[in-house]
């Protein structure tokens, strides 16, 4: 019985930890602005991103948002050019 409670407690702690990091993502996104360097944006949002696309001068990084959507950040010459938050039924975009 003790192992059962320990397993439940572990699951709850992992779930809370994941939820907190996604909430931190929403708070971090408020701190970025158009024109920031890619290095600065990553220092704010963290290394838990996916490279969505990469071309000669342009790259797009994706960060998961709390509602199973994704923040898409587009960099041109390693500077943030635009970002958007995609989720079902909602679209928000910021451009330079």
What is the total count of domains within the chain? Answer: 1
Q: What's the pTM value of the predicted model, to 2 decimals?
A: 0.66
- Beta carbons of 57 and 50 less than 8 angstroms apart: no
Angle between helices 2-29 and 38-45 (to 10 degrees): 150
Q: How many residues does the chain have?
A: 96
Per-residue pLDDT of 30-41, as tens digits, reads: 999 999 999 999
Q: Label residue 42 by pLDDT band (50, 70, 90).
A: very high
Whether residue 13 has pLDDT greater than 60:
no
Maximal C-alpha separation, the chain: 58
CATH number of residue 90's parent domain: 3.30.1450.10
Query: What residue numbers bound the domain in which 45 lies?
Result: 2-95
Instruction: Provide Rg for the chain, Cα atoms.
Output: 17
pLDDT at residue number 59: 97
């Amino acid at each position: 019985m003790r192992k059962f409670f320990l397993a439940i407690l572990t699951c709850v702690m992992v779930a809370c930890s994941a939820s907190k990091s996604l909430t931190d993502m929403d708070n971090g996104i408020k701190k970025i602005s158009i024109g920031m360097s890619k290095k600065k944006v990553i220092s704010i949002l963290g290394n838990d991103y996916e490279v969505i696309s990469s071309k000669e001068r342009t790259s797009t990084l994706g960060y998961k948002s709390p509602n199973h959507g994704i923040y898409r950040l587009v960099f041109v010459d390693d500077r943030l050019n635009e970002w958007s938050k995609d989720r079902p039924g909602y679209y928000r975009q910021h451009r330079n």
